[in-house]
Structure 1
Amino acid sequence: MTDSAFATDDFIRSRIADWLRDLGSVRRLAPKTLEAYSRDIGQFMSFLAGHMGGPVSLAALKDLRGADIRAFMAQRRSESLGSRSLARVLSALKSFFGFLEREGTLATEALNVIRTPKIGRSLPKALTVIEAKQTIATTDEMEDIPWVAARDMAVISLCYGAGLRISEALALTSGDLEAATLRVTGKGGKVRMVPLIAPVRQSIETYLGLAPFKLWPDDKLFRGVKGGVLSPRLIQKRMEQLRSALGLPPSATPHALRHSFATHLLGRGGDLRAIQELLGHASLSSTQIYTAVDTERLLESYAAAHPRG
């Protein structure tokens, strides 16, 4: 497939550029989402251009039918694209055509007859409390350089002890660290305050005390050995070493520690709304999945321990 730069005329190309700018600056979509949407719309335009034998124009989009979109979705599925990715593709198309309609450029009913692919909701794979504690406690045994070991322990502690995404932990600056709280910038630039429990704060202070770099308030907190911003891949590799050392399943990733944070809080009677705020979820439905995780663990324990299990 060619991309949209060759599959569309100048007018449609400019509308795509305006739409992507709107998503980034006004709607503040994450860079990876913008990249995916740009790729999705480019592949759609390339598909249409292949059928028409030339660049896609406004007139061609006005003649768009539901059958055209179904054919495109069928092609993408034939390329082994899963339901979740297909749903994102459809979301990108709806966003673009919704933008054209708001602009007064084009209105189409073609997308209204397309159903969103059904997505099976998978449960997060949480570690047990013992596994999570062992993961953190064993981190400093994986590295001979004291400050690097302290750094990795601090990052992993933030994932489990504060429920941070790895990207959120690595985006922290010295200025985000306060006495008892942490200022976290999540998806879409949304800022939330997260309580900083004593063990997590101590792990950060240990790292700062050992780090060989001078950090100013606006500097990223976690650094690589050459002084640059720490790559998430290094923390992922550290988790791979920990999985091997502790015999943990492949699902034991930095993000699984965030899942474990939420699941363990809920299991100890944590309020669902409070957990939503701590995780930075935009809607409660995203957090409610952890009730299913907790119920699943309860049933597993019941089946294992009950005399008739």
Structure 2
Amino acid sequence: MYTPNLPAIRALRPAWNKGRIVGQKRPLKPKHVWAIRVRLELAQKHRDLALFDLAIDSKLRGCDLVKMKVVDVMTSGEIKERASVLQSKTCKPVRFEISEGARGSLKTWIQHPLMVGSEYLWPGRFHERLHISTRQYARIVRGWVTSIGLEASAYGTHSMRRTKVTQIYKKTGNLRAVQLLLGHTKLDSTVRYLGVELEDALAISEAIEI
């Protein structure tokens, strides 16, 4: 009796993104920023508070943030009001402001005993690792968002990068300003990054009367 060769039946693997929220990570809302900041202050987590404040202000990618050095933010014993960092992705410098609150938390952290002799702002725990890794930074961010009851899968390191520029865009509608702050070479990249839609453009247009 002839038995045809039938294709092998394989068990279906679950989709890699099943149960996960994929795509762009959400920016934090102002109330989330304050909630995380208060918790870090109460817990006296000086490094995390300085890292959180600078992540929000600098709008840097995680790979650039973790490699920042003390000289990037400090001169003559004082924290700079504005700083500049060379981006790894574009090899172009990007400037950013350091708010008063961030300057305070950075100064407290730099004066901490754990920072003695460290060239980097966020030194690693092991001698062979000069600074924290991007993976470690991602774990720290996950801890921040879960501490205030947010879903960890919806937020990530890019949430820190997007938080302030999202508010700037909502209040001003100035895409060019956001492009410069993010260090994007193309405006299209900024549009995609912010998720700007026609409804956003119409809302801005409706707010302008001539």
Residue of structure 2 in register with 1:212 after alignment: 114
Residue 175, structure 1, aligned to residue 45, structure 2: no
Q: Deviations over 1:256-297 (max 9, x none)?
A: 12111111111121632122111111111111232627957x
Please show how residues 150-169 of structure 1 align to structure 2 within 5 Å. Answer: 150-169=46-65
Residue of structure 2 in register with 1:125 after alignment: 26
* 2:50 counterpart SS class: helix
Larger RCO (CA under 8 A, 6+ residues apart): 2
The structure with the largest alpha-carbon Rg is 1
Matched-pair contact (CA < 8 Å) for 2:25–2:156:
no
Counterpart Cα distance in 2 of 1:238 and 1:211: 21
Q: Which runs of 5+ in 2 are unaligned?
A: 1-14, 17-22, 75-79, 204-210
Please show how residues 1-309 of structure 1 align to structure 2 within 5 Å. Answer: 124-140=25-41, 149-178=45-74, 179-186=80-87, 187-215=89-117, 219-226=119-126, 228-249=130-151, 250-269=153-172, 271-289=174-192, 290=194, 292=196
TM-score (norm 1): 0.49
Q: Which runs of 4+ in 1 moved over 6 A?
A: none
Counterpart Cα distance in 2 of 1:240 and 1:226: 22
Quickly say closer, same or farther: Cα 1:201–1:293, change in 2 above 3 A: farther
Residue identity opposite 2:191 in structure 1: Q
Quickly say closer, same or farther: Cα 1:262–1:211, change in 2 above 3 A: farther
Residue identity opposite 1:258 in structure 2: R
Matched-pair contact (CA < 8 Å) for 1:263–1:293:
no
Matched-pair contact (CA < 8 Å) for 1:159–1:258:
yes
Residue identity opposite 1:129 in structure 2: P
Shift of 1:240: 2.2
Counterpart Cα distance in 2 of 1:202 and 1:167: 24
Quickly say closer, same or farther: Cα 1:291–1:233, change in 2 above 3 A: closer
Residue identity opposite 2:157 in structure 1: P
* 2:114 counterpart SS class: coil
Q: Deviations over 1:160-219 (max 9, x none)?
A: 122122221111112211521112121232112212111122221111011423347xx2
User: Quick check: which one's helix share is greater?
Assistant: 1
Quickly say closer, same or farther: Cα 1:295–1:234, change in 2 above 3 A: farther
Identity %: 21
Quickly say closer, same or farther: Cα 1:264–1:211, change in 2 above 3 A: farther
Residue identity opposite 1:229 in structure 2: H
Residue identity opposite 1:265 in structure 2: I
